[in-house]
């Protein structure tokens, strides 16, 4: 029943080098290692595969197995070690400042492995230090970083980083010189950007140290949920450190399969979790409890299967079916969280009323129109909207794509329309937005944009929305 998930598994030369590094049978691993060396062009091999090759080299030996690659693999391991050391040393002063100033934070992803085992710096390539920050201390965390000489990547303003992270991004990339790289997480995962999604991570966190800095560490069961929730999202080139992260985390004292399964189901991450665990079980012959797989399998369903397919294929430019799957998946996660916290107050949007109206005129292609949403949206409610559009300058029988979205960082699409030039004007479009989604994601505005039309086309019209 999980055959359709195999398309996400590492294959080809990538699959060979992963088997060499992690297959439970050493004979199978050695054969995979020999095959990989015979077939690969080391100079043109994916960077992610080369990093896994360093682990296979450490596991399976020196010159007898690695042949002429031995000096280069030795050099690669030194590079991985030195990069990890530089990244950690650059990050520790800021993390120490957080600890001293009462900013609660939890290292996640690769940084957890370094905290639990400093020797892992020789094995786990560290591109940046990932840190989850408590929402109460988020503004202070951003300001301390900026005061300490860090800068925000991707030209995000300080005000947007402080006040709009909830609505737009799950993390903030910080850089300092050529060595410092921190990914400051508002949410632990892109797929779980709902208010309260990380509550159990904080509740189950345990004390630890990263270098000389006292930190809280995620429970190993929560750490594995983060690993599998992140590992199949789009990246270019793709990385497969998740395999070593998962196996190391499963072997960590205190790891509990029941807690992990509960966390995955609560977060609606059964699809990526099943994809990862069946790969470990079937391809690498690693023991995964059958009851865990059976329990997760009952939660593998739509729209989460299509959501994973969308996030696997691309980061932004999604087709209509992919955008719809993501919207439905976010709505389900939001409803689960909002209903699980009865004391949550209705979300207060940009307007002071239960109804909003806006007008716009002669808006150019690719220009965003901001549309306010009503306030006091409760979990059992929704927002009904009506758009009245006039397409100025659109020739007969030619088309324009109109997008209605919210959240700028990774846009969440509410609806889209492909409209054709016609004598019939204006066009009236209607729709509904899930109230739980509005609450959990903190959505206070929408934006409208027209694109993929002949030059000179403009958009005019009005927008009305009301709570029902």
Q: Strands 427-434, 355-364: parallel, antiparallel or unpaired by DSSP?
A: unpaired
pLDDT digits (tens, 9 = 90+) for 404-448: 999 877 789 999 999 988 766 788 999 999 999 999 988 989 999
Give the per-residue pLDDT at 63.
Answer: 41
Contacts of 349 (CB under 8 A, 6+ apart): 356, 372, 373, 374, 375, 376, 377, 438, 443, 444, 445
Q: Are 202 and 191 in contact (CB under 8 A)?
A: no
Give the per-residue pLDDT at 352.
Answer: 46
Give the per-residue pLDDT at 382.
Answer: 93
Q: Picking from 22-26, 47-51, 345-349, which range would have the lowest pLDDT averaged per residue?
A: 345-349
Give the per-residue pLDDT at 347.
Answer: 52
**What's the average model confidence in pLDDT over 311-326?**
88
**What's the average model confidence in pLDDT over 216-230?**
97
pLDDT digits (tens, 9 = 90+) for 337-359: 888 765 455 555 554 457 899 99
Give the per-residue pLDDT at 62.
Answer: 54
55 pLDDT tier (thresholds 50, 70, 90) = very high
Residue 20 has pLDDT above 50, yes or no: yes
Give the per-residue pLDDT at 349.
Answer: 52
CATH match for 355-467 among 3.20.20.70, 2.170.8.10, 2.60.120.230, 3.40.1280.10: 2.60.120.230
Give the per-residue pLDDT at 409.
Answer: 73
Give the per-residue pLDDT at 227.
Answer: 97
pLDDT digits (tens, 9 = 90+) for 366-378: 999 999 999 788 8
Residue 1 has pLDDT above 70, yes or no: no
pTM: 0.92
pLDDT digits (tens, 9 = 90+) for 78-102: 999 999 999 999 999 999 999 999 9
Average pLDDT, the chain: 91
């Amino acid at each position: 029943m999980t055959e359709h998930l195999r398309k996400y598994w590492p294959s080809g030369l990538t699959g060979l080098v992963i088997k060499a590094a992690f297959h439970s049978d050493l004979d199978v691993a050695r054969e995979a290692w020999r095959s990989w060396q015979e077939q690969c062009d080391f100079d043109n091999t994916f960077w992610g595969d080369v990093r896994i090759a360093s682990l296979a080299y450490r596991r399976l030996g020196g010159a007898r197995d690695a042949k002429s690659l031995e000096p280069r693999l030795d050099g690669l391991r030194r590079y991985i070690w030195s990069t990890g050391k530089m990244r950690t040393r650059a990050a520790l002063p800021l993390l120490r400042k957080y600890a001293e100033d009462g900013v609660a934070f939890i290292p996640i992803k690769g940084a957890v492995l370094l905290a639990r085992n400093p020797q892992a710096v020789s094995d786990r390539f560290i591109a940046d230090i990932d840190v989850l920050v408590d929402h109460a201390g988020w503004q202070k965390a951003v300001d301390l970083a900026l005061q300490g000489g860090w800068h925000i990547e991707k030209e995000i303003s300080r005000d947007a980083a402080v006040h709009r992270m909830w609505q737009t991004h799950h993390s903030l990339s910080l850089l300092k010189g050529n060595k410092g790289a921190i990914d400051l997480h508002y949410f632990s995962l892109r797929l779980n950007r709902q208010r309260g999604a990380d509550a159990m991570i904080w509740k189950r966190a345990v004390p630890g140290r990263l270098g000389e800095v006292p930190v809280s560490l995620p429970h190993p069961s929560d750490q594995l949920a983060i690993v599998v929730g992140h590992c199949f999202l789009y990246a270019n080139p793709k990385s497969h450190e998740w395999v070593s992260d998962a196996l190391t985390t499963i072997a960590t004292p205190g790891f509990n399969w029941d807690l992990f399964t509960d966390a995955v189901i609560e977060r609606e991450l059964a699809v990526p979790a099943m994809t990862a665990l069946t790969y470990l079980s079937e391809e690498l012959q690693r023991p995964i409890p059958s009851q865990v797989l059976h329990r997760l399998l009952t939660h593998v369903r739509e729209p989460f299967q299509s959501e994973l397919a969308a996030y696997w294929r691309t980061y932004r430019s999604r087709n209509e079916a992919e955008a719809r799957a993501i919207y439905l998946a976010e709505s389900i996660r939001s409803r689960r969280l909002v209903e699980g916290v009865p004391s949550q107050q209705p979300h207060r949007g940009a307007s002071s009323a239960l109804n909003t109206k806006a007008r716009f005129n002669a808006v150019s292609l690719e220009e965003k129109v901001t549309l306010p949403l009503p306030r006091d949206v409760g979990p059992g409610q929704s927002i009904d909207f009506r758009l009245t559009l006039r397409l100025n300058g659109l020739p007969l029988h030619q088309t324009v794509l109109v997008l209605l979205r919210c959240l700028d960082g990774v846009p969440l699409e509410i609806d889209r329309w492909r409209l054709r030039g016609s004598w019939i004007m204006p066009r009236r479009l209607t729709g509904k937005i899930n109230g739980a989604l509005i609450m959990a994601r903190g959505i206070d505005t929408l934006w409208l944009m027209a694109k993929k039309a002949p030059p000179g086309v403009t958009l005019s019209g009005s927008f009305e929305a009301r709570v029902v």
